[in-house]
Amino acid sequence: MLRSRLNAFLHQRLRLPDKDYYADLDQETLWELKSVLSDINNIFTMKVCLGFVQWLSKSLGLSDSVRQHIEYSTLRNSPNANGYDVEISDPINVIAEVKCNVPINRGAVYGPAQRNGIAKDVESLIRGKNKSRMVPDECLKFLVLSDTPNIRQATKHFFKNMRKHQDKIVFVSPDVRPEQLDKVYVVHVNHVA
């Protein structure tokens, strides 16, 4: 099973020649591969952050130079920093948490650990984080997720069943302009290439 999945992925997705790559994986190569792949979530999060910055710039009518400045500062942030995934203080105050969760079994609901993580991020958007200089009451707040049908469905299911802060959650749609500082806007974006 693992052998066929790995070989199929490398052949079909990366367009490498059709061969048994699994057979060539000695211990040293596996350690190296594990090290490279350990950053996948950070890479995915950064791409979704940049997709959010593009969406935010368009949604709020920010200039290209402001968007580029925000992109630059987002790229400079460490992916494992203890602040928010996106922190903007000029020309507007924005904080955002980015979640790259895929619903369990590629279904339409999040697992318990995923639900706890999302709830914790919503709480930090509302209450703040010790390691961030941003004051949530002075910021537009966003929970940013990837845009797939399963993630949209799982997110709606989660917030429909959430016990706290339901009155503060707003799903962004074309007719919703994010401008209320007491709300957490849920945004689904595509990552940038």
Please report which confidence band the pLDDT of residue 1 belongs to, taking 50, 70 and 90 as the band edges: confident
Domain boundaries, the chain: 40-189
Select the more confidently predicted residue: 38 or 135.
135
DSSP string of the chain, one letter each residue: -HHHHHHHHHHHTS---SS-SGGG--HHHHHHHHHHHTTHHHHHHHHHHHHHHHHHHHHHT--HHHHHHHHHHHHHS-TT-SS-SEEE-SSS-EEEEEE----GGGSSS--HHHHHHHHHHHHHHHH--TT----GGGSEEEEEEE--HHHHHHHHHHHHS--SSGGGEEE--TT-----TT-EEEEEEPPP-
Contact criterion met (CB below 8 Å) for 102 and 152 = no
What's residue 77's pLDDT? 77
Whole-model pTM: value is 0.85
What's residue 80's pLDDT? 63
Average pLDDT over residues 138-148: 95
Distances (CA, A) of 45 to 70, 86, 88, 131, 174: 16, 11, 17, 19, 24
What's residue 157's pLDDT? 93
* Amino acid of residue 185: Y
Q: Which of 176, 155, 87 is nearest to 124 (CA)?
A: 87
What's residue 193's pLDDT? 60
Residue 102 CB contacts under 8 Å (≥ 6 apart), including other chains: 146, 150, 151
Please report which confidence band the pLDDT of residue 125 belongs to, taking 50, 70 and 90 as the band edges: very high
Residue 82 has pLDDT above 80, yes or no: no
Which range among 15-29, 72-86, 120-134 shows the weakest confidence by mean pLDDT? Answer: 72-86
Please report which confidence band the pLDDT of residue 180 belongs to, taking 50, 70 and 90 as the band edges: very high
